[in-house]
Structure 1
Amino acid sequence: MSRYEQQRSFLKSNFSEFKNIKTDKMKGIPQPPSVKSFNSSSKIIDLPKVREDIVKKQNIYECIKERRSTRFYKDESMSLEELSYLLWATQGITDTNKAGLTLRTVPCSGATHSFETYLFIMQVEGIQKGVYRYLPVEHKLLFMFELDGIDQKIDEITLEQPFVPNFAKKAAVLFVWSTIPYRSEWKFDITAHKKILIDIGHVCQNLYLASESVGSGTCAIGIYDQRMIDELLELDGDEEFAIYLAAVGKKLE
């Protein structure tokens, strides 16, 4: 049992220890940017405005009750309107408070929002296959690059899935969330990391429910090749790295 003790301790609240720490915020160190910058000359795709009528199943009780991890998908494209809605539901900005912190569709410890959203797009109407990043402030997509053999790359990244091998490459879109830990560490120091894991759970659950509401299915993926995906997305693996994945596609009837 001793080998579990350190990880079990991580699961517990350590607020009493945090009270004795002077955080970077308390030291007057400037807050890190809440979103990554981008080159204005990059290829930017406008996303449709999110509208309520995109939702097919508006009964939240039904969405919660019928939500399942979905690993089998139709060979059918997702609409750009649906993708816009899913991005808004998971990281969309709904307001900004007096302190300039973004308020989003998901709860987050101290509004630190340490996540960035990357997309491996295989089947979205009007969008070429490739790798993209979501720009939450602008509600737009930034095209990063084409990826030869994108389905094979996804397969390599998500090997050893225990229930349905190779399912992720058959999805319409693979969501990849990275974390930039210092956004949370700046405010919460050593207590940040538990909060980050809790917060990414909020994000993915919103994706599950939003997908269910538009006739799509989601399956979260916690088994992936960390080094490969970080290198592919050009993340340094320290100051930013992938933390969670989720495949999304149209549900089989």
Structure 2
Amino acid sequence: MRVRRCMHLLLEPSEQISFGIAAILRGRVEVGGEVTWVALAAHLERAVVVDAAERALLSEVSAYRWQELSQDVSRSSACVKLLESGLLLSEQVEHAEYLSRDQAVREVHWWSPAAIVHRHSRWQGVDSVGDMRSQGLVTANDLRRNLGPPPSAVQEYEGVYAPLPRQTDSAFDAMLARRTTCRNFDRDRALPLQLLAQLMQRGMMAQAGFEAAPDTVFLKKNVPSGGGLHPVEAYLLVQNVEGLAPGLYHYHPLEHALLALPSPPAGEMSRLACTALSGQDWFADAPAMIVLAPRFERCFWKYRNHSKAYRAVLFDVGHLSQLLYLCATEAGLGAFVTAAINEVDVDRALGLDGIQQGSVAIFGVGWRAGRQETTEFDPAHRVWA
């Protein structure tokens, strides 16, 4: 049998701490621990526990070339386990899915540590709000009581700080002061299509393009992007927008147009929204949400196996979300952005694989409610008097 190792692999020791009950009953504390090794691979959703024999076999097999194993090795329990888990790959039909997944990661040119972090930090079915409530970590006082005081709000150095001259506030400064995360959306008031279109035009539309060759096009948008590649795509989750049926859409930045995608029934959009937002129900009433989903393959086409490429992609998402925030504020709308999302569930709904392209954050926009039912962070009282 010919095998090779998966491309992106990290072995990590995991220690389980235990306390001796008998010693505790005698008034002593005895702490023990058991170390197991887990394998994290970029093409697998979950970690795999590996023993010494399995680790040894992994170290002997190349990730780049196919190797013929002897009958004894290929029939060993270590080899069978590694093939069944997807850490070793073969050309056999029963292992075709793992081989295909691993090949997809290879073709995008991920840097190995980034690929593993990206894959294993994705959520599925997580209720982050329920988790916070069960742990008593909801309010600032909860955090302080359970975690102790945080590091200081400002890094201070010894010496005298020279003050900078303060400028008179302009209309732009007043708008910046109104940029506050909205947790109270008016669920009964539809978002006008014209306002959504304006938001997309300012925040996501390509303002110009440069064609270096028929198959090599670079876009100019209102935000910077690593290498000028602009890999972040926008998908809309529409719940209450005038002139748009509830559902999922893809936005085309050159045509400034929407394409309807296969979507759940209109009555189930709110459930999808709450799942996507990992239970953050204060955001789930937003009339429109924009899923920011980078095409990693576009960025990594230039920055192949590059240690800074994944960071550049996350910067791109940050640039876009801040511009969308400001555009929404200027239009008198409430907005939010969150990275606490169930990426696996979102990607599945949009038909994304999470490797070539995957969701990273969700931006939401709509009319702010007339009453603050969920507390918002507005210490300067620029939104809620």
TM-score (norm. length: structure 1): 0.72
Aligned partners of 1:130 and 1:147 also within 8 Å: yes
What does residue 171 of structure 2 align with? 59
What does residue 7 of structure 2 align with? none
| Higher relative contact order (Cα pairs below 8 Å, separated by 6+ residues) | 1
What does residue 325 of structure 2 align with? 208
Amino acid corresponding to residue 135 of structure 1 in structure 2: H
Distance in 1 of aligned mates of 2:190 and 2:261: 21
Aligned partners of 2:209 and 2:220 also within 8 Å: yes
Distance in 2 of aligned mates of 1:98 and 1:236: 28
Change (3 A) 1:141 1:59: farther
Amino acid corresponding to residue 285 of structure 2 in structure 1: K
Name which of structure 1's ranges 205-214 and 138-147 shifts more when overlaid on structure 2.
138-147
Q: Of residues 140, 164, 170 in structure 1, which corresponds to 2:285?
A: 170
Gaps of 5+ in 1: 1-57
What does residue 123 of structure 1 align with? 240
Give the C-alpha shift of residue 179 in structure 1.
Answer: 1.0
Q: SS where residue 185 of structure 2 aligns?
A: coil
What does residue 227 of structure 2 align with? 110
Amino acid corresponding to residue 194 of structure 2 in structure 1: E
Please state if 1:248 is matched with 2:365.
Answer: yes
Aligned partners of 1:160 and 1:223 also within 8 Å: no
Distance in 2 of aligned mates of 1:140 and 1:87: 9
Distance in 1 of aligned mates of 2:313 and 2:175: 26
What does residue 73 of structure 1 align with? 185
Give the C-alpha shift of residue 120 in structure 1.
Answer: 0.6
Q: Of residues 85, 88, 92 in structure 1, which corresponds to 2:198?
A: 85
Distance in 1 of aligned mates of 2:367 and 2:292: 21
What does residue 298 of structure 2 align with? 183
Distance in 1 of aligned mates of 2:263 and 2:310: 33
Q: SS where residue 101 of structure 1 aligns?
A: strand
Q: SS where residue 193 of structure 1 aligns?
A: helix
Distance in 1 of aligned mates of 2:211 and 2:294: 25
Rg larger in structure = 2
Distance in 2 of aligned mates of 1:183 and 1:152: 32
What is the percentage of aligned positions where both structures have the same residue? 26
Distance in 1 of aligned mates of 2:309 and 2:297: 9
Please state if 1:154 is matched with 2:267.
Answer: no
Please state if 1:141 is matched with 2:254.
Answer: no
Give the C-alpha shift of residue 229 in structure 1.
Answer: 0.8
Aligned partners of 2:185 and 2:283 also within 8 Å: no
TM-score (norm. length: structure 2): 0.48
Amino acid corresponding to residue 207 of structure 2 in structure 1: T
Distance in 1 of aligned mates of 2:342 and 2:211: 40
Distance in 1 of aligned mates of 2:349 and 2:172: 37
Q: SS where residue 284 of structure 2 aligns?
A: helix
Distance in 1 of aligned mates of 2:245 and 2:210: 36
Q: SS where residue 245 of structure 2 aligns?
A: coil
Amino acid corresponding to residue 185 of structure 2 in structure 1: Y
Give the C-alpha shift of residue 98 in structure 1.
Answer: 6.2
Distance in 1 of aligned mates of 2:322 and 2:171: 16
Give the C-alpha shift of residue 199 in structure 1.
Answer: 1.1
What does residue 124 of structure 2 align with? none
Distance in 2 of aligned mates of 1:181 and 1:146: 24
Distance in 1 of aligned mates of 2:279 and 2:254: 36
Gaps of 5+ in 2: 1-169, 371-385
Distance in 1 of aligned mates of 2:274 and 2:368: 20
Distance in 2 of aligned mates of 1:238 and 1:109: 19
Give per-residue Cα distances to partners, 1:107-138, cap 9 Å, x unaligned.
11111111110001011111111100101110
Aligned partners of 2:184 and 2:283 also within 8 Å: no
Amino acid corresponding to residue 208 of structure 2 in structure 1: D
Give the C-alpha shift of residue 160 in structure 1.
Answer: 4.2
Q: SS where residue 68 of structure 1 aligns?
A: coil
Change (3 A) 1:60 1:129: same
Moved over 3 A (4+): 97-100
Q: SS where residue 198 of structure 1 aligns?
A: helix
Amino acid corresponding to residue 291 of structure 2 in structure 1: V
Give the C-alpha shift of residue 61 in structure 1.
Answer: 1.9
Change (3 A) 1:92 1:188: same
Aligned partners of 1:157 and 1:224 also within 8 Å: yes
